């Protein structure tokens, strides 16, 4: 698809799960470059959280309209344990459960609302790095399952 100033959208759109991580990365890069710390925070985190949800679903083929990461992650951990006799590393678990703590149903960073904390410290560079690790981990799991990269 070629982007022009004026576009008409038709048909279906296909996206790669990595597109959501890339969008989050670009928003973080703009934020750091322009020192617009919080202006793009919610859109960036929304993309990262959505990518995480889709990655979880992609590994075990869930098409359900479930958006609760904790529920999806329990199913994911069980599947990984059964198939590979492996536990998820703490860093991996912490990222997913942190998203779940602040945005249980995937609506806070998309539509706005109150989070379960009065103050949150976010290191944008660390968040971007962690999301790269998550994306690479999910791609590796999919490869071990004989699935294509997404």
Between the alpha carbon of residue 145 and those of residues 58, 132, 140, the distances in Å are 11, 20, 9
Nearest CA to 142 out of 16, 14, 3, 37 is that of 16
Q: Are 80 and 88 in contact (CB under 8 A)?
A: yes
The packing angle between helices 41-60 and 69-84, to 10°, is 40
Q: How far apart are CA 104 and CA 102, in angstroms?
A: 6
pLDDT per residue as tens digits for the range 91-102: 999 999 998 888
Residue in 148, 134, 150, 139 with CA at minimum distance from that of residue 48:
134
| Gap between the terminal Cα atoms of the chain | 18
pLDDT of residue 48: 93
pLDDT at 11: 45
Write down the pLDDT at residue 88: 93
Contacts of 106 (CB under 8 A, 6+ apart): 49, 50, 53, 67, 69
Q: Can you list the residues of the chain whose pLDDT is less than 50?
A: 1-4, 7-14
CA dist., res. 147 & res. 105, Å (int):
27
pLDDT at 92: 94
Alpha-carbon distance of 29 to 45, in angstroms, equals: 13
């Amino acid at each position: 698809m070629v982007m022009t100033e004026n576009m008409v959208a038709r048909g279906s759109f296909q996206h790669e799960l990595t597109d959501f991580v890339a969008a989050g990365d670009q928003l973080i890069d703009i934020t750091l470059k322009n020192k617009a710390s919080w202006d793009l925070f919610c859109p960036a985190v929304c993309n990262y959280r959505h990518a995480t949800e889709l990655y979880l679903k992609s590994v075990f083929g869930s098409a359900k309209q479930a958006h609760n990461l904790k529920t999806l992650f329990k199913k994911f951990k069980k599947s990984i344990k059964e198939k590979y006799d492996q536990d998820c590393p703490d860093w991996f678990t912490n990222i997913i459960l942190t998203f779940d703590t602040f945005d249980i149903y995937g609506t806070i960073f998309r539509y706005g609302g109150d989070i379960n904390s009065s103050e949150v410290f976010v290191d944008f560079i660390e968040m971007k790095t962690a999301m790269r690790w998550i994306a690479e981990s999910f791609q590796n799991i999919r490869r071990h399952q004989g699935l294509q990269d997404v």
